[in-house]
Structure 1
């Protein structure tokens, strides 16, 4: 499975084609799916361009994307910094009526178990975001852990050897705990393409898009999300 992460918290300074509005997200979703993506991960935005979990902003983004690419799973971030931030972000999540197919919940965040329980109660699937060995050790102790859709191994280290070591350590924790959940692994910026290759080599799912990097494997600036997805599809064929 190849997931396209269309925008994250990126600004237009990072890349002029970062999608903000519901219409822009729908446009990029269609292009990314045509290029080979089979799932989407988005960060809805408010009218001022800030990341948002407001039920209206979420609904607008989901409606536009689902009209553009019907049947394609769409997931949202729930990360700690999204306004109103911290534990207060649970309130807009609780009040969402138009629901995503899944959300990402980062185990580094203190209320991760609460958020997982909250979204499960609304019938939303969970990607468990694991950044470190300590995150993995916390995750495997959670009562709801085995109900998750997948484990999302997120490698933020910019030194490639350090990143690979972190990924290996996380995988070892999961294996010792006998977790059989699907794994999606990705990196950030300098680690994006090395971690994508590692994910392909291990037979895991991959993620790619302007949330994670604005560059192609050659180091050239990508044109847009679809350009990055096309490069990932070509690279994946080698595995």
Structure 2
């Protein structure tokens, strides 16, 4: 079982006192999260104003800082339309990336997702298929081997725990029926983050946690930072499961 630290997501600067925004903040925060037990980090690059951005001139210095700080740790970045709302411009930006992340998430419910996934795979970037809906899971099943995916992210967007857990089961059922054997990372958001994570740990799936997914610790109080969130997950995962 692997633990991914999702450091900032699409949250606005100031949403949490410890939310990392600049490349320097992200690198230092990533190091603290890894020291707390994270195996990988996932980040949404930010421009000088703090807005999400996929431009090469934003991504390259971020990756340089992360790799200088954590040379052995895999780095995943977003390609979500929250970072670039125009699907065609997003494709162009990804095509122009010079420095490449180890992996990138592609949300299959978004327009242009399949094209971006193919582009990333062609560029030898591992592609993580984001499945927020049953329809997205069906699309992944229909694609078969047409796109080379590395991992599935089962990520219901419902904040209600009961609905989110139901969506996880429904998405998983589609993948099981289609024989999709890719590793699964399961995570929820906001009010569903901890219930979904605990169910994923019990099922033996990879998990993720961080200020992208929740600002609260498992006790319902405001989390100190990403490292504290990761440490709380480590406490819930047996050493045997981490092997």
TM class by shorter chain equals over 0.9
The CA RMSD over aligned residues, in Å, is: 1.4
Alpha-carbon deviations, 1:165-197, whole Å to 9, x = none?
111111111111111100000000000000100
SS at match of 1:33: helix
1:21 aligns with 2:22: yes
1:158 is displaced (CA, Å) by 1.8
Q: Paired residue for 1:175?
A: 176
Q: Paired residue for 2:210?
A: 209
Name the CA distance, whole Å, in 1 between partners of 2:103 and 2:232: 26
Q: Measured at CA, do residues 83 and 111 of structure 1 come closer, stay the same or move farther in structure 2, by a change above 3 Å?
A: closer
Q: Paired residue for 1:235?
A: 236
SS at match of 2:155: strand
> Unaligned regions of 5+ residues in structure 1, if any?
none
5 Å matches for 1:138-217? 138-144=139-145, 147-217=148-218
Name the CA distance, whole Å, in 2 between partners of 1:52 and 1:24: 16
Normalised by the length of structure 2, the TM-score is: 0.95
Report if the CA contact (8 A) 1:105-1:127 is conserved.
yes
> Unaligned regions of 5+ residues in structure 2, if any?
none
5 Å matches for 1:40-79? 40-79=41-80
Alpha-carbon deviations, 1:118-140, whole Å to 9, x = none?
11111101000001111100111
Name the CA distance, whole Å, in 1 between partners of 2:230 and 2:238: 13
Report if the CA contact (8 A) 2:33-2:227 is conserved.
yes
Name the CA distance, whole Å, in 2 between partners of 1:84 and 1:160: 28
1:109 is displaced (CA, Å) by 0.6
Aligned residue pairs total 239
Name the CA distance, whole Å, in 1 between partners of 2:145 and 2:57: 29
SS at match of 1:129: strand
Name the CA distance, whole Å, in 2 between partners of 1:151 and 1:143: 13
The answer to which of 219-228 and 9-18 deviates more is: 9-18
Q: Measured at CA, do residues 165 and 84 of structure 1 come closer, stay the same or move farther in structure 2, by a change above 3 Å?
A: closer
Name the CA distance, whole Å, in 1 between partners of 2:110 and 2:145: 16
Q: Measured at CA, do residues 29 and 145 of structure 1 come closer, stay the same or move farther in structure 2, by a change above 3 Å?
A: farther
Normalised by the length of structure 1, the TM-score is: 0.96
Alpha-carbon deviations, 1:188-213, whole Å to 9, x = none?
00000001001101110000000011
